[in-house]
Amino acid sequence: MQFFAHGLHLRGFTPPLQLADFRLIAFDMDSTLINIECVDEIADAAGRKAEVAAITEAAMRGEIADYKESLRRRVALLAGVPAAALEDVYTRRLRLNPGAEALVRGCQAAGLKTLLVSGGFTFFTDRLRDRLQLDFTRSNVLGIVDGKLDGTLVDQPWGDICDGAEKRKMLLETCAALGVDPKQSIAMGDGANDLPMMGAAGLSVAYHAKPAVREQAMVSIESGGLDRLLEVVRP
């Protein structure tokens, strides 16, 4: 990877690119658009954060090949957590990562559509969609019975779990719906389950990412905020 600026590394192209040449930007949520892994913080309410976080870390590093199974294992450990804990995580722990809003607004001003695609949960993606006026989302639904998480995920019309393959599929489906070439899309993520959609996009961006993701991304932001992408892809 070539060095471009402090904490910013590039592979396979020469900057600057023009933001207006792209039509869609897709964001991972946990540890990319936001500062936390939501499943880990929900687990804290059950006294199981360390156990769940260890599985999350292994999955994000690509050490667990079956993302769906890893998520089912983590969600099963949430059984019995009051649904009210989700609101607590959103209001007290979840923050946008530095530069997130500036990058989203910059992309919107340049005419790009926005996609939030996550292995996390609709409780959070729906709120972020409304907060940032994002165009599209895809994520997972937590099962809730009698006001408590039941340790399951709810099947949706498109499938069961949003894993790496589903992220890629959603990126491609969104491009098709917009009538644009996938090469006119940008995909940003930090974990191994983001690699399939990053590989399908015209520009792949790693944000404070796991080693395997940094090594494969065309842009790797290793210090500073998400809006450092605007140093490479100019408005």
- Domain regions of the chain by residue span: 2-34+96-234
- Residue 10 pairs in a beta bridge with 2, 219
Using DSSP's 3-state secondary structure scheme, residue 214 falls into helix
Mean pLDDT of 197-221: 96
Is residue 194 within 8 Å of residue 170, measured between CB atoms? no
Fold of 2-34+96-234: Rossmann fold (3.40.50)
- Give the mean pLDDT of the chain: 95
41-50, 56-65, 67-76, 162-171: the lowest-pLDDT one: 56-65
The stretches of 77-182 forming alpha helices (DSSP H) are 84-88, 100-109, 122-132, 164-178
Task: Show Cβ contacts of residue 65 under 8 Å, excluding neighbours closer than 6 positions.
Answer: none
Q: Out of 11-15, 101-105, 217-221, which region has the weakest mean confidence (pLDDT)?
A: 11-15
Report the C-alpha gap between 235 and 226 in whole angstroms: 14
pLDDT per residue as tens digits for the range 108-138: 999 999 999 999 999 999 999 999 999 999 9
Q: What is the pLDDT of residue 59?
A: 86
Say how far apart CA 56 and CA 22 lie, in whole Å.
32
Arithmetic mean of pLDDT, 34-43: 95
Check the CA dihedral 128-130-131-136 and report its sign: positive
Give helix then strand counts, H and E, for the chain. Answer: 9, 11
Residues 6+ apart with CB under 8 A from 118: 28, 29, 30, 124, 125, 137, 138, 139, 140, 162
SS3 label, residue 153: strand
Give the pLDDT band (50/70/90) at residue 6.
confident
Residue in the structure block whose two tokens are 């999955």: 59
Q: Which of 173, 174, 64, 74 is nearest to 120 (CA)?
A: 74
| pTM of the model as a whole | 0.94
Span 26-49, mean pLDDT? Answer: 95
- Give the residue from 189, 27, 39, 43 showing the smallest Cα distance to 123: 39
* Rounded average pLDDT over 211-233: 95
Q: pLDDT over 90 for what percent of the chain?
A: 88
Q: Indicate if the pLDDT at residue 184 is higher than 80.
A: yes
Q: What is the structure's pLDDT at 5? A: 74
Distance CA 220, CA 168 (A): 19
User: Residue type for 99, please?
Assistant: G
pLDDT tens-digit readout, 82-105: 999 999 999 999 999 999 999 999
The pLDDT of 161-166, averaged and rounded, is 96
Q: Would you please indicate which residues are annotated as catalytic (active-site) residues?
A: 28, 30
Reduced to 3 states, what is the DSSP secondary structure of residue 187?
strand
Q: Is residue 126 classed exposed, middle or buried when 0-12, 13-18 and 19+ CB atoms within 10 A define those classes?
A: middle
Say if residue 12's pLDDT is above 90: no
Instruction: Report the alpha-carbon distance of residue 88 to residue 227 in Å, rounded.
Output: 28
